Chains A and B, each alone.
Chain A
């Protein structure tokens, strides 16, 4: 599949003497050395990535790492010093004013950290701004604005002024303004950075919910790693204008590319990064009706499992532990005693994408957790031990390697 947005060897040098500075950057000299020798500031150096349609691509890094500069080169607000930015086969870096204007009107919208709503216009007029610029008639504009406002739940405020709304509401207006012209790509520069934590949480959830139906290609800037891990299908981490690692949340956490990234993720809440699917293993199962207690015990002795899941046809019926089965046999079971008697039926369950932090309780003790699908079919099991090792950070090397392998295959570096 052709990427929606493809960035290659992108550089931005601020200040005069860009050529000399560019030479120095390419030779690998540091940002501060270049600043003291040429007086030029390196904004972004050698950025490259592909973003696919419908993906949320998060760029994260500390203040001054070049995130804003990078995202502004994607819609030409900042002209790159060198490199290319391809959107649907057109190079933004070399586009003339008219082409840029057309692309901004039709394909790519932006949401700003401080909302940037026009204070002298009503909410509906603000939302319709992109449409007005395109020359749509007033009536059609308003109709579309109300439609988008309804999507973000702000229809009743259509005729208020921005100053009358709270920060969270203003940013939803900013988002609505971005969506109004139905662009393919949405650039969001720290959109939730100016909101307080609770509102930020809400907005993140709302964005994910909207994205489920909208399926826009989103470039999302943040300096909050938790936000990045929550929202990003893929995450690029920037330092001093350079992208030091690109990968999924799991890759970044389990296989940080260098000490910088490692320091970043050191105190991350892993419980929110990993899901049951990440730590689950292939289940060993037995059939409720056709397996005898003896057979089950023998299976466990061979495999070393503490417990086995019991299926009734396709569905999961329960779980039996070695201890219970052994006890029931000591109680004088006959060869044809069924396992149903010592089966636990209120076993813990989870979905493939249940986050690990929700499994803290079930993992505290007891049987492995059943990962089931909508129809109660058993997909995998999660061993309590695996949950805890993953949370502790020294995840089984194998698991980490697995994930790294998987994502490395998905995208060339």
Chain B
């Protein structure tokens, strides 16, 4: 796999605030990197530095083999970028805007026509092509922004919250588009939708207060969750307290969380004391006790839980990050 994005020890401060603090990562062709983190973590700032909009205070960035600080034009030519909030020239029609993008990107005329048709078709823009962008709905604006980022078929895609404001159908459409393109490109998307990470990302980085706090495949990250290897049993017709007592007694179970989800129906989550599987033990016990079981299974772990446990409380601690000066 060839590395298309390489970031080394990137830092950026705004006055006393350190927005990005020594971030390093690589993204190879074929990878879709999910860039996660709470509000104000530094995701957008990092993306702005990679795309050459902001100058870093320290660190190196290379995109498609071009140093962004030395040859920004070549790097920018290789990138398709959807900035945060998808800013667009509101006084242009969607069609005129996309033509403007292919012209400034120097796409040859015949190729530009082909790519234009492709983008219009894939992002469902036919009906709004002659409408001025100011009058488009939020979701359509986002789609025009995506079309703009994809129209020159770039090798590197940087998308800052690409599905924000899209309806569920379009979210699905955009995710399958990303999956389809994934094999030939290096893609970085930032998102607050953790299901999106499972849907499209081959790897995820969680950043908090400008620092990388986790980096791995969505599976690896989810495995850090306390829900990893937990067993879920939903039982009908047994009192909550009795269930907790009976299940808590099983060897290897450290904790039982019970949750009444209906009249007479209780969902129990059994956490393992050492992270190893409990399934066999619990299954034996459940069978022998003759309960009516609605649901039984093992949890792989929840990304949301990991995200929360890694980043929680950090916005309040922000003051500490401010430099002493």
Genuine A/B complex: no
Q: Could you list which residues of chain A lie within 8 angstroms of chain B, going by C-beta atoms? A: none
